A and B are shown apart, each in its own frame.
Chain A
Amino acid sequence: AQTVTQSQPEMSVQEAETVTLSCTYDTSESDYYLFWYKQPPSRQMILVIRQEAYKQQNATENRFSVNFQKAAKSFSLKISDSQLGDAAMYFCAYRTGNQFYFGTGTSLTVIP
């Protein structure tokens, strides 16, 4: 069975600092995609970053980057220079074929 685990229900970071959110997943597939989604208090889910499993290079989107360790089945999200607008629930997601699995989320608080 494919599962996604986010072991940190809550995290906090000082504004302008860096924070890393962890995610591990379990799969027997070799071809899949990983995502980080952000859900602010307004509830609209927004894509943060995406990683194809066949790519060894870690994806980067401005202040957001991932550390993808395929052998360890780990997919952490690093947010640099944290901003107040980064405060949200962050979901790690895994997709293969027609199935999409989400972790339980990490609530990130940004402290001014």
Chain B
Amino acid sequence: KAGVTQTPRYLIKTRGQQVTLSCSPISGHRSVSWYQQTPGQGLQFLFEYFSETQRNKGNFPGRFSGRQFSNSRSEMNVSTLELGDSALYLCASSALQAGTDTQYFGPGTRLTVL
């Protein structure tokens, strides 16, 4: 099976702009989670989608939003970008929604905000 894919791999934006990141899970996986990774804060959970519904959300402002499509692909949107949004954004998929299943990570999208 193909792994989790994320596009684009690298992105450069300026403050105030918005950005959309895409994640395609492993075939058959219905859960997609998003994480922000920074040197200072480590890995922080953004949100999880299962069957097109947001199941849980981390402690991030409303500028961060997401959605999941019927084919389980997911997008994450960040509006009104700030310098502090510069990070590696990781997507992970799992077969089950419950918190028992192993997550498989994509390579990430490196977002730089200037």
Chain A residues proximal to chain B, CB less than 8 Å? 32-33, 35, 37, 42-47, 50, 52, 91, 95-105
Contact = CB atoms under 8 A, between A and B. Distances in A.
* Interface bracket on B: 20 to 34
B56 A98 contact: yes
Q: Which of A37, A52, A99, A100 has its CB near the most chain B CB atoms (within 10 A)? A: A100
A49 to B, nearest CB: 10
Contacts of A37: 105
Interface of B: 33, 35, 42-45, 48, 55-56, 88, 90, 92, 97-100, 102-108
Contacts of A105: 42
B102 A99 contact: no
Contacts of B42: 102-105
A43 B108 contact: yes
